[in-house]
Structure 1
Amino acid sequence: MSCFIREENKKPPRLTILAGLIAAVLTSNANAFKIDTPSSDWEVNWDNTVTYTIGMRARGIDPLIGNNPNFDDGDYKFRHAGDIVTNRVSMVSEFTAAYKGYVGFKLSGSAWKDFAYGSGNATNPGVFAPAGGGLPAVTYQSLAAYPNRQYGSFTNRYYVQGAQLLDGFAFLNADVAGKAVYVKAGQFTEYWGNSLLFPFAGISVAQGALDSIKGLSSPGTQTKELLLPRPQVSVTAQVTPEVSLSGQYALGWTYNRLATGGTYLQANDAIAQGPSGLLVTTLPGSRVGHPGGWVPVFVHQGPSNTPPDIDNNFGVKLGWTPSFLSGQIGFYYRRFDESQPWVLTNWKKGLPTDYHLAYNRGAQLFGISMETTIGNAATGFEASWRRGTALNTALSSNIANQTEGATGDVLNLIANAIIPLPNAPFWQTGSLTTELAYSHLLSVRNNAAIYNGVGYRGCPSNNKWNGCSTRDYVGLGLLFNPQWLQVFPGVDLSMPTSMTVGLYGNNPQNPGSSAAGQGFFNFSVGLQALVRQKATVTLAFNGYHAHVNGTSVTPSGLTYASSGSGLYDLNDRPWVSLTVQSWF
């Protein structure tokens, strides 16, 4: 049985518009805007960042990907090399006010518009299953992520146009019994630990939902830049000159922002942040008219199983800065609901009756981190044990009614270093960032029958190259950014280059090989100009690659890639981006 889950291009912008925008940015007064107040006790700032990105598909459709009904919506939305896959203008605005530096508030928000997505959804124009035996033909359009060709509300908001509140909090720096105390309350991000490039393995996991859309479209983005603000309260007290104590309590929860079906960098047509998808399962049958006796079975997405906003999500951190160490050691305990969904199914008489998203509740984390300087390199290390965490879960009938996926205990280790580049013949300065991540499955606690792991019933193929998790996973991330100063008057150049790759195994943690699989890598190679400290202009080539392990044939006779490890649907979607950004 093979399972398929599923949740017109605009013309390229006129070059004169793009040239005019670049000219306007480069001639703007791009300094932070400080607001004068009647009293010098108040410091008030209003900062704005404007970004324009245009992206172009770099190769055409690979039929092995475009013929897969899981992937055709994203592939055919922008089907030709040279098609514009994003044409996006966005703005982030931040307002901060502080009285004597010890009390104040911050508000920030963003708004965006992408002109490339205005024409709605598209699909493979062909036939998935031919007519016969009194059955009508099944077209790819009938299996579309959006049957009416119009995007759902979530996709419209985050891809076409929308706005959101980011930070909205008040803060207080106080002296309590001679001890410095810092308090924040409202909506903001909190980031613990030292992980830089592997968000599913770090101590910071689910401290806030991840913006996975940004992670896919901007390879090399660091973990702390992917976290979305959440309502919470945090307190830090400097107990002694060497010891601090921090606490965090969450007042709200939300899910990871996933790339949805029908968008260029989707993981699967079915992915939707709401009950609007469709599961298409092809089962062996005797219905005539379908070659090989395959009969499509359609299963709609049911309501998601989400945690309540307030669900005893909290964390405690003890920070120690010993005199013998030029750095800090941290000790952590966290209890949290996870923000990455399982995709679960309910079954009756061997047939799926629905599929739905569900989120693990009450995972626990015990961790330790250390950061220090070795020579001229800033180094970090962290180790964490996650108890009852979400594991990679299969679309399997081994459990009939599924309210939660597989859970278990996992050990995660991360080591990283940020190394400044010395003056050399090929660059003047710059930096190299590297991170190594290791995950080890200690045990499967619950629902082992649907754990998608080698050696378990949820992985009948027993093959990691089909996406089944292994007990151990090793991943590597690199950020290489050489710089050349004053190449032209007022212009510094750099070459931001990044890559993350699975070196060995598939991560046992949810979402498994989709985020961290052996051989799966994404990369970006760019050239960036910093112009007069007012703006950046970045040209980049972005690509993705995962292992394809098997092919199948549709009932209409079309060959497609049907199994693999990692996001192999992105193998034919490299793209070139040009980004202009200015701040004022």
Structure 2
Amino acid sequence: MTHFSNVSPSRRRWALCPLAAVMLGLSGGAQAGTVAFNQEAGLDYAFTLTYSAAMRTERQSDALIGAANAQGDDGNSNFARGAFINNRGSALGEINFHYRNMGVMVRGNGFYDHAYRRKNDNDGSTVNHDGAADEFTRAARRRLGADGRLLDAYAYITLPLASTTLNLRAGRQVVSWGESLYFPNMSGAQAPADATKSTVPGVEVKDILMPTGQVYGNWVISDRLSAMAYWQWEWNDTELVPVGGYFSSTDLVGPGAEYLNAIPALNAMGLGKITNAGDITPGNNGQWGVGLTYQLGDATEIGLYRLTYHDKNPAAGVVFGAPGPEITLPQATIQLPQDYRAFYADHIRMTAASFSTELLGTAMAGEVSYRQNAGIVVYAPNGILGVLPSVTRGDVWQANLNATKLFMPSALWDTLILVGEVSWMHTGAVAPIQAQGGSFAEVATGRDAGAYQFMIQPGYRQVFPGWDVAFSLIHAQQFKNRAPVSGALGSLFGEGDKRVSVGPNFKYLSNLELQLLYTGYYGSAKSGSAAGEFAHARPLADRSYVSVSAKYSF
């Protein structure tokens, strides 16, 4: 089947998807079909059906539910130990019609998940939504219970220009530059993501990016030099886990967020809640990027890029509205904010560089970026609510380095792949917040942040007639503070947040896959809501689970 990749050429050459690299080596390419109308026109298609089920294996931590985490425990409280967190059937299909040097690509999916179409296990003690406590919010039922959508839908054409080639695409598509594997850097500025997929250790950046409407061009000037550019006509935000979803870590932001439960004792009088007034979002205009890549040799490529974008993820804090009416209590008279809103930073400027090469038989790649005017949070007083992470703007550096090593067959494996990536972030200049007669610029996430992830995957051919198997061990850890830019270090939160995933993947005749996986979340549980603990939050530390899945491609 003709496949049109949106990743950079160097990533296609060297930083192969770890699972795909092994599976291609074990069993050949993905299943697909082709209908040839004549010698110049044809239709390629591929469809995948999947069933998956997952069950919680760890009880809820007392540090992450109830009064200890009243504004972030709905998702945790909705699932007791042994509950299904996923019971899903899904379908994915793509069709590519091509004629001579042009064509149209369309891709869509749909699913039904019974885990979110039933009652849940919430006892209602600190629930942050109206209605029955043991029912999921409407947003959670709609986004996690059943959905269908069009993903990619774009037209493409390849044009010869003298001795050069110009490739053009227009429509809903993913454009992803740079060399990131596990931690979004440049690619996180270019495309929104499906955050519901990002919590699984080992998932790669390219597997969670979502399409957006844009025009993209790649001009192959010579065998060594290429220029590229895109212009986006719409802004789409990352699909956050809805409030009440199993991997939801906050009840205040995301689909289904209704209110902050500031003074529960006053809820009966309708006075203790701060209402969610919606998000502060950018407009659709002003997002573009240009880049150059140059091959220094057969195994080395460098790239330079300049982007202007609007953040696809909300800043880690919220923006409170004007003070509401006075509330007279026996102890004092107080005022709560009328409302709060999530904030998406706009008009962020990014300058970036990338490289890929081969060193001692190992594929090495990396990228470094400099964000100007990014949305970050600093500690600042917010009246009666106390000192909280508050949204401002600042400059952020990020550097990623990854390596991929494929080993020759041995007595212990038919294939063996090692993949690892480390990412480091540094916050530079910060715009201070002026509040209560003071100036506040202490970065709540910490000035520096870092995380790493690696995977070891041996594979074996023909374990049974027609069956190949690969075993995966994946580990991820946030070893320093918390990412100043939301989502830049994946789904990892604060310092000490650890994830591990282990299990086999069986494949039969290249089209049937069966997987058993245990995913553990480690690090002491900590909500991060206490003073000074924001950079050390580990709100998913009790979410370990076991999952099974079956996938059939045709």
TM-score range, shorter-chain basis? 0.7 to 0.9
Q: Deviations over 1:276-335 (max 9, x none)?
A: 51101249x9x9xxxxxxx983111002111122x1100000111123x52211100000
Q: Residue by residue, what CA displacement relative to the aligned partner does 1:75-94 show, whole Å, maximum 9, x if unpaired?
A: 23221x32211100011110
* Percentage of identical aligned residues: 24
Secondary structure in 1 matching 2:115: helix
C-alpha deviation, 1:512, in angstroms: 8.6
Query: Are residues 1:97 and 2:97 paired?
Result: yes
Q: Which residue of 1 aligns with 2:113?
A: 114
The residue number in structure 1 matching 2:309 is 336
2:404 is equivalent to residue 418 of structure 1 = yes
- Selected match of 2:346 from 361, 381, 394: 361
- Which residue does 1:297 correspond to in 2? 272
Matches within 5 A, 1:318-333: 318-323=292-297, 326-333=299-306
Q: Residues 456 and 484 of structure 1: is their aligned pair in 2 closer, same or farther, counting only changes over 3 Å?
A: farther
Aligned to 2:328: none
Question: What do residues 397-444 of structure 1 show as CA deviations (whole Å, max 9, x unaligned)?
Answer: 2799x9x92111111111101111333454231211101111111111
Call closer, same or farther: CA 1:511–1:546 in 2, change over 3 Å. farther
Equivalent residue in structure 2 for 1:481, among 457, 463, 475:
457
AA in 1 matched with 2:538: Y
Q: Trace 1:409-558 onto structure 2 (pairs within 5 A).
A: 409-445=395-431, 447=433, 457=440, 468-510=444-486, 515-548=492-525
CA distance in 1, matches of 2:57, 2:192: 31
Question: How much has 1:456 moved relative to structure 2?
Answer: 8.4
Rounded to whole Å, the distance in 1 between the matches of 2:175 and 2:500 is 27
Is contact 2:336–2:384 with CA below 8 Å preserved after alignment? no
CA RMSD of aligned residues (A): 3.2
Residue-by-residue CA offset, 1:196-232 (whole Å, 9 max, x unaligned) = 1111xx121221111111111x221111111100000
Contact persistence 2:467–2:506 (CA under 8 A): yes
> 2:392 & 2:159 partners in 1: Cα distance?
45
SS of residue paired to 2:213: strand
* Matched residue, 1:60: 59
Return closer, same or farther for 1:152/1:562 CA change in 2, 3 Å cut-off. Answer: farther
Give the drift of 1:106: 0.4
Q: Is the 8 A contact 1:495 1:527 kept in 2?
A: yes
Q: String of CA shifts for 1:168-194, please: whole Å, max 9, x gaps.
A: 000000012332000000000000000
Report the equivalent of 2:139: 154
Indicate if the aligned counterparts of 2:446 and 2:535 stay in contact, CA closer than 8 A: no
Q: What is the rounded CA distance, in whole Å, between the counterparts of 1:232 and 1:50 in structure 2?
A: 29
Unaligned runs of 5+ in 2: 1-29, 324-333
Structure-2 separation of matches of 1:124 and 1:471: 39
What is the Cα deviation at residue 549 of structure 1?
A: 5.5
CA contact (8 A) 1:399 1:449 kept: no
Match of 1:212 in 2: 195
Counterpart contact for 2:432–2:441, Cα < 8 Å:
no
Task: Decide whether aligned partners of structure 1 residues 565 and 122 sit closer, same or farther in structure 2, where only a CA change above 3 A counts.
Answer: farther
Q: 2:540 aligns to what?
A: 570
Letter in 2 for 1:572: D
TM-score (normalizing by structure 2): 0.83
- Give, in angstroms, the shift of residue 46 of structure 1: 1.5
Whole-angstrom CA distance in 2 between matches of 1:448 and 1:73: 33
- Three-state SS of the structure 1 residue aligned to 2:141 is helix
CA 388–507 in structure 1, closer or farther in 2 if over 3 Å, else same: same
Q: Which residue of 1 aligns with 2:79?
A: 78
How do 1:241-260 residues align onto structure 2 when only pairs under 5 Å count?
A: 241-260=223-242
Is the Cα contact below 8 Å between 1:50 and 1:583 reproduced in 2? Answer: yes
The 3 A distance-change label for structure 1 pair 298 and 562 is: farther
Q: How far 1:42 moved relative to its partner?
A: 1.3
Q: Structure 2: which amino acid aligns with 1:278?
A: Y
Partner of 1:555: none
* Distance 1:438-1:456 versus aligned 2 partners, 3 A rule: farther
Q: CA deviation at 1:270?
A: 2.9
Name the structure 1 match of 2:207: 225
Do the aligned partners of residues 335 and 281 (structure 1) sit closer, same or farther apart at CA in structure 2, a change above 3 Å counting? same
User: For the residues of structure 1 that align with 2:187 and 2:110, how far apart are their CA atoms?
Assistant: 26
Q: Conserved in 2, the CA contact under 8 Å of 1:449 and 1:458?
A: no
Q: How far is the alpha carbon of 1:244 from its aligned partner?
A: 1.0
Structure 1 distance, partners of 2:82, 2:47, is 32
Matched position secondary structure for 2:142: helix
The residue aligned with 1:272 is: 254
- Alignment check: 8 A CA contact 1:70 1:269 kept: yes
Letter in 2 for 1:539: L
Q: Is the 8 A contact 2:402 2:421 kept in 1?
A: yes
Structure 1: distance between partners of 2:410 and 2:439 = 52
1:306 is matched with: 281
Q: What letter is aligned with 2:505?
A: Q
Q: Which residue of 2 aligns with 1:26?
A: none
Q: 2: distance between equivalents of 1:48 and 1:193? A: 29
Supply the distance in 2 between the matched residues of 1:482 and 1:158 (Cα, whole angstroms): 36
Q: Is the 8 A contact 1:546 1:568 kept in 2?
A: yes
Figure out how many residues of one structure are paired with residues of the other and give that number: 504
Once the two structures are TM-superposed, the CA of residue 60 in structure 1 deviates from its matched residue by: 2.2
Shift of 1:526: 1.4
Question: 1:579 & 1:89 partners in 2: Cα distance?
Answer: 10
The TM-score, its normalising length taken from structure 1, stands at: 0.79
**SS across alignment from 2:391:** coil
Letter of the aligned partner of 1:314 in structure 2? W
Give the AA of the match of 2:547. Answer: S
Distance 2:501 2:527 in 1: 27
CA contact (8 A) 1:42 1:99 kept: yes
Per-residue CA deviations over 1:128-178 (Å, capped at 9, x if unaligned) read xxxxxxxxxxx435x447557554443223211010111100000001233
Cα distance, 1:550 vs structure 2: 8.2
In the alignment, what sits opposite 2:329?
none
Instruction: Tell me if the contact between 1:546 and 1:567 (Cα under 8 Å) persists in the aligned partners.
Output: no
Whether the aligned pair in 1 keeps the contact of 2:109 and 2:149 (CA below 8 Å) is yes
**1:62–1:442 distance in 2 versus 1, CA, 3 Å:** closer
Q: Counterpart of 2:553? A: 583
Q: Distance in 1 between matches of 2:275 and 2:504?
A: 45
Question: Distance in 1 between the 2:233 and 2:89 partners?
Answer: 32
Does structure 1 residue 263 correspond to structure 2 residue 245? yes
Once the two structures are TM-superposed, the CA of residue 108 in structure 1 deviates from its matched residue by 0.7
1:370–1:159 Cα change, 3 Å: same
Q: Is the 8 A contact 1:122 1:262 kept in 2?
A: no
Q: Paired residue for 1:130? A: none
2:180 paired residue number: 195
Match of residue 166, structure 1, among 148, 151, 156? 151
Deviation of 1:567 (Å): 5.5
Residues 477-521 of structure 1 show CA distances to partners (whole Å, capped at 9, x for unaligned) of 112211122111111111122222112233222369974421112
CA contact (8 A) 1:345 1:395 kept: no
* Aligned equivalent of 2:361, options 376, 387, 395: 376
Secondary structure, counterpart of 2:293 in structure 1? strand
Consecutive unaligned residues of structure 1, counting only runs of 5 or more, are 1-29, 126-138, 288-294, 463-467, 553-559
